[in-house]
Amino acid sequence: MSEETKVKKKAFSFHTNPNMFEKASEEEKAQQVHMRESVSFMRDAMRRLRKNKIAMISLCIIILISLIVFIVPNFYPYNYSEQDLSRQYLDPFEYSETEKARMADGEKIFPHIMGTDALGRDYAIRVIYGARISMLVGLIAAIIVTIIGICYGSLSGYFGGKVDLIMMRIVDVIYSLPDVLIIILLSVVIREWVSTSTSMLVSRLGSGMISIFIVFGLLYWVGMARQVRGQILSLKEQEYVLAARAMGAKSSHVILKHMIPNCISVIIITAAMQIPSAIFTESFLSFLGLGVNMPMPSLGSLAADARMGLQSYPNLLIFPAAMIFLIVLSFNLLGNGLRDAFDPKLRS
Amino acid sequence: MNSKFAGYIGKRLLLAIVTIMLVIAITFFAMHAIPASPFSSEKAKSDAVIKALEAKYGFDKPVIVQFFNYLKNIMKLDFGLSTAWVGSTVFGLIKNGFAYSAKIGLSAALLAIVTGVVLGSWAALRRGKWVDKIIQVGTTALVAMPSFVMATILLLVIGLKLKWLPTLASQPGGLVLPVISLSLYPMAYITRLTRSSMLDVLGQDYIRTARAKGLSNGKVIFKHALKNALSPVITYAGPMMAYILTGSMVVENIFSVPGLGRLFVNSMLRTDYMMIMGVTIFLAIMIIMMNFISDILYKVIDPRIDFS
């Protein structure tokens, strides 16, 4: 009996006759598999980021500035607090009379790339130190915000219910506090404490810096906490979370191993957006005279000092202003690039 | 719907009041922690002053009682006496300063909103054209500049080098530069907001319907698109207020405007704690109320948002 008769064909049936087909060869099978190497989300996002020219240029500028501000002060021939009244207000690459005399004697003198300020301090190294403060503030703010925001947001989102309600009301209140005012107030208060304290760390950092970090720790994490919580709330409904819990995973395991890795895009975007605003706040406070302590320069205090003799020596304003502009612009553009690369909703 | 809306207003109002109370508490207890605070008798010199202050604030009483005393005085708009400007009350000084700051701040806000909305819509309607590109680059640059850099550069270029406008607030037209320097950042921000929400709205079906009905371009843009594109701008009103009020601290100093911001900075330099407390609380209340108003306005204008 042939196979054909075995399969009873009904009229109008769509049954196909298996005998009409032949097995695919291995070669043909291989043609059907068009596999791309599996790409993790992270690598996919990085690939998109690398394609974004503006973001990559910004990243390069940020890396370059970081290298300069952390390496150059180690071997730079001038010190940020070294005063020399014989070389006040030099233009860029200008030498003072005494320096010219020493050069005539055959001594080699490193040029003042950005000139000198009212007290004859080399301006380039002061701008570099100022930029270093800005970069440090941005970095530390991002770290503080990320740590507190993730912890708070993930707990609130994961436990939900009453816990979430109470935690989010606290966030609402903190969110509506006017942050700059609180920073100013605290730095006034901390300045008074510090003036009586003899601790090395406190006097080196300055009251403004300490209050900035305290306030970042107290106030700035709420944006991150909200974002992480929103993300966790939606992740909670995912099957893999249910599966992990059904297999007896502890809450900490579910949060750390399953949920937070899936929030990584939100975390990266929010942290990147936080950096420029932290740098803004620090320079603003320093401009008001509440930032770093005296001899230590900050881009804000340099700009404030430059207001004396602004008309005759505009360089003193332009260098720190350009520096802060470059730093904030680069971080803004990098943040935009990260958002485009990591936000799955925008993926076309 | 209506009761829901009332509930929403109630909730936001409660939040605003809690926040104001928190600011007052933070301010009070932070100041109290300073060794030479206005609430310790070390600061006052003469016996008579100590007696007068004691009668008013009760230094001998527990801190919490002093706090409620202070709160009660604030309700009566009594923020105490200034120590740096002898003979003036804190509230009187605030009132004088605020007259200037309100003038500058409101002008700056108005300028920022009008130019921002116009430029943003223009950029959205000419998407991809050179106008759009110039506006994009310009606003990207402007939002990367702190207020003090903007103000000092305007002072240097327009005031000192080109001499187009006076640099001191007391001269006629002297408030123009402070207003411009305060408005540039919010203007750039509003431009970007308007542009992106306008692009969003222009892609909606109802715009296509409006065009299909044969409405003129102007009507489509002004009656349908712009109205819907403006709601994100309203949410920015609160943060803008905060920016302008804090920005006025540097701008008023740079252009010597005798406003609230300059008063605040001077009272910090002269360690006048009563002033610092008063101005902080006053500014905080302004910012929080503005946030409250913009929240409510947002819901009124865009009824699609649920009130949960």
Set of chain B residues whose Cβ sits within 8 Å of the Cβ of A307: 152, 254
Tokens of B298: 């947002």
Q: Check: CB of residue B227 under 8 Å from CB of residue B121.
A: no
Distances (CA, A) of A163 to A234, B140, B219: 17, 40, 50
CB-based contact B152 A303, cutoff 8 Å: yes
Architecture of domain A45-82+121-346: Orthogonal Bundle (1.10)
Question: Rounded mean pLDDT of chain B?
Answer: 84
Taking the CA of residue A286 and the nearest CA in chain B, the distance in Å comes to 11
CB-based contact B146 A304, cutoff 8 Å: no
Q: Determine the pLDDT at residue A348.
A: 37
Nearest CB partner across the interface for A317, out of B23, B152, B265? B152
How many CB atoms are closer than 10 A to CB B65? 12
Q: What is the 3-state secondary structure (H, E, C) of chain B?
A: CHHHHHHHHHHHHHHHHHHHHHHHHHHHHHHHCCCCCCCCCCCCCCHHHHHHHHHHHCCCCCHHHHHHHHHHHHHCCCCCECCCCCCCEHHHHHHHHHHHHHHHHHHHHHHHHHHHHHHHHHHHHCCCCHHHHHHHHHHHHHCCCCHHHHHHHHHHHHHHHCCCCCCCCCCCCCCHHHHHHHHHHHHHHHHHHHHHHHHHHHCCHHHHHHHHCCCCHHHHHHHHHHHHHCHHHHHCHHHHHHHHHHHHHHHHHHCCCCCHHHHHHHHHHCCCHHHHHHHHHHHHHHHHHHHHHHHHHHHHHCCCCCCC
CATH number of B93-199+229-270+286-301: 1.10.3720.10
Nearest CB partner across the interface for A284, out of B16, B250, B288? B250
How many CB atoms are closer than 10 A to CB A94? 14
Mean pLDDT, residues A51-77 taken together: 90
Label residue B45 by pLDDT band (50, 70, 90).
low
Most confident stretch, A20-29, A89-98, A315-324, B229-238: A315-324
B308: pLDDT strictly greater than 50: no
CB-based contact B26 A304, cutoff 8 Å: no
Q: Check: CB of residue B194 under 8 Å from CB of residue B226.
A: no
Q: Determine the pLDDT at residue A326.
A: 94
Question: Rounded mean pLDDT of chain A?
Answer: 82
Range of lowest pLDDT (A93-102, A266-275, B224-233):
A93-102
Nearest CB partner across the interface for A188, out of B18, B160, B268? B268
Nearest CB partner across the interface for A300, out of B23, B148, B153? B148
Q: Express each pLDDT in A241-292 by its tens digit.
A: 889 889 888 888 888 888 888 888 889 988 988 899 889 888 888 888 887 7
Any B CB within 8 A of A181 CB:
yes
Q: CA end-to-end span of chain B, whole Å? A: 11
Q: Express each pLDDT in A140-149 by its tens digit.
A: 989 999 999 9
ipTM of the modeled complex? 0.83
Label residue B39 by pLDDT band (50, 70, 90).
low
Q: Determine the pLDDT at residue B1.
A: 55
CB-based contact B148 A284, cutoff 8 Å: yes
Set of chain B residues whose Cβ sits within 8 Å of the Cβ of A290: 268
Taking the CA of residue B2 and the nearest CA in chain A, the distance in Å comes to 24
Test the B interface: residue of A190, A192, A319 with most B CBs within 10 Å: A192
B46: pLDDT strictly greater than 70: no
Any B CB within 8 A of A272 CB:
no
Test the B interface: residue of A54, A189, A313, A328 with most B CBs within 10 Å: A189
CB-based contact A287 B265, cutoff 8 Å: no
CB-based contact B288 A178, cutoff 8 Å: yes
CB-based contact B156 A317, cutoff 8 Å: yes
Any B CB within 8 A of A324 CB:
yes
Q: Determine the pLDDT at residue A323.
A: 93
Any B CB within 8 A of A287 CB:
yes
Test the B interface: residue of A170, A185, A277, A327 with most B CBs within 10 Å: A185
Closest chain A residue to the Cα of B162, Cα to Cα = A311
Q: Express each pLDDT in B246-296 by its tens digit.
A: 888 889 888 888 889 889 888 888 878 888 889 999 989 988 888 888 888
Taking the CA of residue A261 and the nearest CA in chain B, the distance in Å comes to 30
Closest chain B residue to the Cα of A313, Cα to Cα = B156
A347: pLDDT strictly greater than 60: no
Per DSSP, A76 falls in state: -
Q: Determine the pLDDT at residue B62.
A: 77
Any B CB within 8 A of A218 CB:
no
Nearest CB partner across the interface for A180, out of B246, B254, B265? B246
Set of chain B residues whose Cβ sits within 8 Å of the Cβ of A188: 268, 271, 276
Alpha-carbon Rg for chain B, nearest whole angstrom, is: 24
Q: Express each pLDDT in B81-93 by its tens digit.
A: 777 777 788 888 9
Whole-number percent of chain B with pLDDT over 70:
89
CB-based contact B30 A185, cutoff 8 Å: yes
A3: pLDDT strictly greater than 60: no
